[in-house]
Amino acid sequence: MPNPKRRHSQQRSAKRRTHYKVEPVTLSKDSTTGELHVRHRAHESEGKLYYKGKVVAEKSPIA
């Protein structure tokens, strides 16, 4: 298995890392509640958990 004989310079490492960029999060508006949420994620509104515009789960009061 080959190993590098010398250390890579900081400039060389930085050139390789320039392609890693943070992309902004895509937000969508829910059709039923009208709230903005992260796409392809469940979101909570008024104590209910929504996914794709449908109620997936509801919070039950703790006894």
14-46 pLDDT tens trace: 888 888 788 899 999 988 889 999 999 999 988
User: CA dist 26 to 15, 17, 39, 40, Å?
Assistant: 28, 23, 6, 10
Contact status, residue 45 vs residue 36, Cβ threshold 8 Å? no
Q: Flag whether 12 is in a domain.
A: no
Q: Flag whether 6 is in a domain.
A: no
Contact status, residue 14 vs residue 26, Cβ threshold 8 Å? no
What's residue 20's pLDDT?
79
Q: Flag whether 5 is in a domain.
A: no
What's residue 28's pLDDT?
92
Q: Flag whether 4 is in a domain.
A: no
Q: Flag whether 1 is in a domain.
A: no
Considering its fold, how many domains does the chain have in total?
Answer: 1
What's residue 39's pLDDT?
92
Q: Which domain holds residue 48?
A: 25-63
What's residue 33's pLDDT?
87
Contact status, residue 56 vs residue 49, Cβ threshold 8 Å? yes
